[in-house]
Amino acid sequence: MTTNALLHTTLLAGAAALLGSAQTAARSDTIIFSGMPVLQSFHSDGLYNLVGLGTWNGSPVSNTNMPSDAQRDLQADINLFVQSDAANVLYVRLTNVSTTTGAWWMGTAFVDVTQTGIELSLPMSDGSTTPTPAFSSNFANPDETLASGSPNEVDTPLTNTPGYTFSRIDRSTFLIQTVDNVNATDGFTSLGNITNATRIRGGGVFQLTFPASTNLLQDLDLLAIAEMSQYGSGNQYISGVPVPEPATLTLFGSALLGLGVVYLRRRLAKV
């Protein structure tokens, strides 16, 4: 059971995201994201599909009795950084998580509005199977906090992102998700007053280390990278939109258009 504390959501500026301008660190003693090559940035935004919500305002959910779009809104920013001195190391950074606003949830609905995973499609440019990376969750955002309600909420600052596992979906797709996916334990939330559950506020950071021979900036099909945010026990997936969106790319000037896709890929890899 939880009460939303009307927490805010801050969108990343598209150009700033591409330039890797985050000035904070994941475990600031080890990783500085500022200046790191950005593989891709995504913003996911969608509405909770109301699965698991039986009643609203004390009555059955219907077309005329349901949460507003604002109360159902699910958002997150996912940024993929390549380690500056090791092009085979990828950091997946989740920030600006917003799991509904101004609503109160319990039971299955509370699980289903919790972000429980990040699905990444990382296809190789030559069509081969993407190597399986080693996974580490021993990193955290500066403001990352474990909110554990047993029964009342107790907040603990984090230096890692606990409770996550890594798996391969197909030849180029991978899923980072909560170990306890049924209850969304350690899932990402923006909600306050957590009771009888454990959630993480402030997003999270994960490291994927590919074989040493892999150069992510050259070997991946950078324009085909995709992301989906998972909610609940696989209840809902919301596709991330690349930041900036294709229309925004025209701001870089028409000169890019005449240089072809190969140059564009190199340009995206270097910003």
Task: Count Cα atoms within 13 angstroms, Cβ side, for 186.
Answer: 16
Q: Can you give the pLDDT of all 271 residues of the chain as single tens digits?
A: 443 332 222 222 222 232 232 333 444 335 778 888 999 999 999 999 999 999 999 999 999 999 999 999 999 999 999 998 999 999 999 999 999 999 889 999 999 999 999 999 999 999 999 999 999 999 999 999 999 988 889 999 999 999 999 999 999 999 999 999 999 999 999 999 999 999 999 999 999 999 999 999 999 999 999 999 999 999 999 999 999 854 434 333 333 333 343 333 434 444 4
Question: In the structure encoding, which two tokens stand for residue 83, read together?
Answer: 């380690």
The β-bridge partners of 94 are 78, 204
Closest CA to 19 of 218, 251, 214, 225: 251
Angle at 220 between CA 37 and CA 80, to 5 degrees: 40
SS3 at position 194? coil
Condensed to tens digits (0 to 9), the pLDDT of residues 156-182 reads: 999 999 999 999 999 999 999 999 999
Condensed to tens digits (0 to 9), the pLDDT of residues 18-41 reads: 223 233 344 433 577 888 899 999
Strand ranges inside 100-212, DSSP E: 104-105, 115-121, 134-139, 145-149, 153-157, 164-168, 173-178, 187-188, 197-201, 204-209
Question: In the structure encoding, which two tokens stand for residue 268, read together?
Answer: 């995206």
Q: What percent of the chain has pLDDT over 70?
A: 79
